[in-house]
Structure 1
Amino acid sequence: MGETPSPQSPPFSKYRWLRLLTYLLISWLALGIALAGAEELSNSYGFTYAVAFLSTFLQAGAVVLAVRRPVPAWALSLAAATATALLARQNLASLVLPSPNWPWPAPILLAHMAVFLLLALRVRPRSTLAAFAVTALTTYVVEGGIGAQKYSATGPVALALFAVAAVIGATLRSRSEARTELVQQTTITAEERARRTLLEERSRIARELHDVVAHHMSVISIQAQVAPHLVENPSEELKENLAGIRNNALEALTELRRVLGVLRSESPDEPEAVEDSTRLPAPGTGPAPDAPQPNLARLDALLENTRAAGLDVVKAEEGDARGYSPGVELSAYRIVQEALSNVLRHAPGAKVRVDIAHLPNGIYLSVSNSRPSRPVPPFRGSGHGLLGMRERAAMLGGQVEAKPTRHGGFLVTAFLPRGGAPEPAEPGPTGPAPPALP
């Protein structure tokens, strides 16, 4: 039955003034029981005033003690009530007054009800039930087993009142616990919502940084690597400067990957989140607010930029371009951009083919490349770029597939629904067959 109640358990509010008011009311109740109860016990049961006051004083003390220690208070109240009943039993036969209430006189009954109410408010229902069982057993032994003469039995009425007090207290306790749990769940939900919003915003920022910076840094690195081969008898100073440009671009890309890895991580303070971020994050969900939003009309400029970096890029387009939502056009651009960036990093000198098919229900994209024309420097990636392409397509109800080809190259295909949402009535997207590798 032992349990340590919280200082803010019912009926004690979290507001200080309400707690003080509760303490004051309980103290006044205890004082009334001590004074008025002593007078009644002295007049009705033949007690001396000192004995009567001691009995009611113990009951009043139990009521006050129940505020902090309800279980010891209940034990004190029951023990004092039992002692009072046994002392009163000796005087019942000699009383000339009408038969008094026994074994629960009115002031003792009121005090024990108050203790029971506070007990039920502060401890588990199982503990309250155990206390009620002990009280009922004690009442049965005193009234039914020991008995007395010339009294009005109050045992059944007292037990009924104690049960009512226990039920009221347990109900109030359950309501308070339910309210507290609801507040906690609401707080947790709000915190989780804020956390999800923060993670989504961080992920969006990371993807936009990737879209804006990473592609151009890759182009700078490749151009710096190719430039010495375009000049006849380049000087050592020129080679050294171009090598410095390439190294700085690669270092900038490495640091950018680390920063973007931290932004994508759910725990940015963990060292693993930084060390494992050796690959660019996924493309984002929207452009930077101060920059024009890329769309399909800007794909030709992207391809020219890639050709300037040393790749042989061919574009083929089928069907008439229809009105796509801005999100679809942005995602199509970013998917092609990421695929070309991967070719620049992993297959320098490869031949690339970009196929675009405008279908009735959406747009089909294909970016394929041959094997690289020269050895590829070691480059470890974590696959976040491909993951980002899949995330971007999935948000629009589309899909992305990426796989190596049997000729040693790589193929990326994507389908995006026209309106940026899946069409349940349509089967899986069907575009043109993957093009023959150059």
Structure 2
Amino acid sequence: MPTSAPPPPSSPPPAHPPADGLLSAALRNLREIGHALSHPSHPPTPLLADATKRWRRLLPYVVVLGLAATFIPVTITVLNNQYALGGGIAGALAVAQAAPLLMLAHRPLQAWWIIFPAQILGAVVLLGQDGGQNTAWPWTPPGLVGYLFLLLALGLRERRQTLVGVWLATGAAGLVLFLVSSHRGADNSLLLVILSAVVLVIGATVRERGDAQRRLAEQETISEAERAQRTLLEERTRIARELHDVVAHHMSVITVQADSAPYRLEGLSDEAREEFGSIAASARESLGEMRRLLTVLRSEGTEGERAPQPGLDRVQQLVEATVRAGLPAELSLPAGLPDLPPLVDLSAYRIVQEALANVVRHAPGARTRVSVSSDGAHLTVLVVNDPPEHTGSSLAPRTPLETTGTGHGLVGMRERVRLTGGTLDTGPLPDGGFRVAARLPLPPASPPSDAASVSSAPPPNPEYS
């Protein structure tokens, strides 16, 4: 009986890269800190360069100029009187330690690369002086204070890795100098390490807080723009759906009339019959294209969009519903309005609807007047509301549902008015109310035409109705 072949040896599991050891991780971090110390994290733009006011933009230059003008003569005086240095050496050290403070406004890290070695050099020079054994060392008082201003500028501009590298370098330099000359009685190395840590933390905290506020403001601006754009697109989509309902009705009428023309009109030539057939086919094709467009625009579950579009004949119901919601509203709607185009009729209704909704949200209880009138050439829609109603003995206005408006409802109004070629005027009133006035053009009245009766025509195909 043949024996089965032994299973192939299982392949060894893939080898994982060895974890970093403590030494390799420390070396990697030191390389990152060294790179941060040699590469500024910001372009050489002045501090407060994006301020709106000119005096704020000039303020950093005034500060650094005052620091340099103060610390250079003070350092020379201190080195001469307290540390018994000659005038030439004292002047050179003072300029090397204080003049780079002029760079704090735009290049603080480069200034640190000049001031820090100058401070170490000054400590070495002072180490060989006989006088001043009981004075502060290795950092002179003016040098220490100027160095703290430098660290504050670094904290306001540089990233954390850079600040950690600066603090470690400062502490290491103080430790080395202390070990070289531990007999100095007034060593201030530890004091500088503590103060530098405090100043760097304060500067970094202020910088990070400013960055967070700036990012939040940018995000709010982007979000507001996105909301406005989304509202605009939604309103345009809604208008497109309503246009479909309006145009589809007329296209259906054209299709039915073109199909029924050979039955209603006698004595048509073959060319006329073909022309009517071509008209009906084109209208039918246009209806199909508009139905496909509506399928793309219509969201799922919006069965309400299939209902007939409202018009001014339903404004009375809209105002009554608003009154039942607690908003005192009056309607002025004359009975002799001319026949309105469907687009104008629908736009007028939507403008009144949105205006009343804004009053409910932002001015609850305000008396509102809705007026619709026509001079034959234009339809005027006017919605005016008073300030919010005062209730109670304290005369406190009712709390609005929304304290600040986004203006997105006005975006839809403007889109509709722009679509009809009209004008829209909105804005607050001197007494605290608000006014919405839309002026929509009407087509010129056409003389009545003797339309052919379609009673003998075959019933319309429901596909086109």
Q: Classify the secondary structure of the residue corresponding to 1:102.
A: coil
Q: Distance in 1 between matches of 2:201 and 2:254?
A: 78
Correspondence for 1:220: 254
Correspondence for 2:181: 147
Tell me by how many angstroms 1:260 deviates: 7.4
Q: Distance in 2 between matches of 1:258 and 1:19?
A: 58
1:204 to 238, 245, 266: 238
Matched, 1:62 2:100: yes
Matched, 1:36 2:74: yes
Q: Is the 8 A contact 1:10 1:172 kept in 2?
A: no
Matched, 1:100 2:138: no
Q: Distance in 1 between matches of 2:154 and 2:60?
A: 15
**1:123-162 pair list within 5 angstroms:** 123-143=158-178, 145-147=179-181, 149-162=183-196
Matched, 1:5 2:39: no
Structure 1 window deviating more from structure 2 (100-109 vs 63-72): it is: 63-72
| Aligned-CA RMSD value | 3.4
Tell me by how many angstroms 1:236 deviates: 1.3
Correspondence for 2:415: none
Matched, 1:180 2:217: no
Going from structure 1 to structure 2, the CA distance change for 1:213 and 1:120 (only over 3 Å counts) comes to same
Q: Distance in 2 between matches of 1:104 and 1:32?
A: 17
Correspondence for 2:201: 167
1:192 to 217, 226, 233: 226
Tell me by how many angstroms 1:59 deviates: 2.0
Matched, 1:113 2:148: yes
Please list the CA deviations of residues 297-320 of structure 1 after superposition, one character each: whole Å capped at 9, or x if unmatched.
Answer: xxxxxxxxxxxxxxxxxxxxxxxx
Q: Distance in 1 between matches of 2:60 and 2:84?
A: 35
Going from structure 1 to structure 2, the CA distance change for 1:59 and 1:255 (only over 3 Å counts) comes to farther
Q: Distance in 2 between matches of 1:50 and 1:285?
A: 95
Q: Is the 8 A contact 2:44 2:107 kept in 1?
A: no
Matched AA of 2:71: I
Tell me by how many angstroms 1:214 deviates: 1.3
Tell me by how many angstroms 1:105 deviates: 0.5
Tell me by how many angstroms 1:184 deviates: 0.9
Going from structure 1 to structure 2, the CA distance change for 1:98 and 1:133 (only over 3 Å counts) comes to closer
Correspondence for 2:110: 72
Going from structure 1 to structure 2, the CA distance change for 1:162 and 1:223 (only over 3 Å counts) comes to same
Tell me by how many angstroms 1:126 deviates: 2.1
Q: Classify the secondary structure of the residue corresponding to 1:153.
A: coil
Tell me by how many angstroms 1:66 deviates: 2.7
Tell me by how many angstroms 1:230 deviates: 6.4
**1:46-57 pair list within 5 angstroms:** 46-57=84-95
Tell me by how many angstroms 1:198 deviates: 0.3
Q: Distance in 2 between matches of 1:236 and 1:291?
A: 45
Q: Classify the secondary structure of the residue corresponding to 1:101.
A: coil
Q: Distance in 2 between matches of 1:198 and 1:57?
A: 62
Going from structure 1 to structure 2, the CA distance change for 1:31 and 1:260 (only over 3 Å counts) comes to farther
Going from structure 1 to structure 2, the CA distance change for 1:72 and 1:206 (only over 3 Å counts) comes to same
Tell me by how many angstroms 1:3 deviates: 2.8
Q: Distance in 2 between matches of 1:115 and 1:88?
A: 22
Q: Distance in 1 between matches of 2:295 and 2:61?
A: 57
User: Where do 5+ consecutive residues of structure 2 fail to align?
Assistant: 1-35, 299-303, 318-348, 351-465
Correspondence for 1:14: 51
Correspondence for 1:84: 122
Tell me by how many angstroms 1:246 deviates: 2.0
Going from structure 1 to structure 2, the CA distance change for 1:214 and 1:163 (only over 3 Å counts) comes to same
Correspondence for 1:357: none
Matched AA of 2:96: L
Q: Distance in 2 between matches of 1:128 and 1:121?
A: 10
Q: Classify the secondary structure of the residue corresponding to 2:85.
A: coil
Q: Distance in 2 between matches of 1:234 and 1:285?
A: 39
Q: Is the 8 A contact 1:33 1:60 kept in 2?
A: yes
Q: Classify the secondary structure of the residue corresponding to 1:67.
A: coil
User: Where do 5+ consecutive residues of structure 1 fail to align?
Assistant: 266-281, 296-325, 328-438
Q: Is the 8 A contact 1:30 1:60 kept in 2?
A: yes
Q: Classify the secondary structure of the residue corresponding to 2:128.
A: helix
Tell me by how many angstroms 1:216 deviates: 3.0
Q: Distance in 1 between matches of 2:127 and 2:273?
A: 115
Going from structure 1 to structure 2, the CA distance change for 1:283 and 1:14 (only over 3 Å counts) comes to same
Q: Is the 8 A contact 1:205 1:284 kept in 2?
A: no
Please list the CA deviations of residues 73-118 of structure 1 after superposition, one character each: whole Å capped at 9, or x if unmatched.
Answer: 2121110000000011000xx21x5611000111111111111111
Please list the CA deviations of residues 154-193 of structure 1 after superposition, one character each: whole Å capped at 9, or x if unmatched.
Answer: 1011111111110110111011011101101110111111
Q: Is the 8 A contact 1:224 1:243 kept in 2?
A: yes
Going from structure 1 to structure 2, the CA distance change for 1:286 and 1:239 (only over 3 Å counts) comes to closer
Please list the CA deviations of residues 340-378 of structure 1 after superposition, one character each: whole Å capped at 9, or x if unmatched.
Answer: xxxxxxxxxxxxxxxxxxxxxxxxxxxxxxxxxxxxxxx
Tell me by how many angstroms 1:27 deviates: 1.1
Q: Is the 8 A contact 2:258 2:277 kept in 1?
A: yes
Q: Is the 8 A contact 1:204 1:285 kept in 2?
A: no
Please list the CA deviations of residues 233-274 of structure 1 after superposition, one character each: whole Å capped at 9, or x if unmatched.
Answer: 742143033134325535755786799799x59xxxxxxxxx
Matched AA of 1:5: H
Q: Is the 8 A contact 1:100 1:152 kept in 2?
A: yes
Q: Is the 8 A contact 2:47 2:106 kept in 1?
A: no
Q: Is the 8 A contact 1:26 1:63 kept in 2?
A: yes
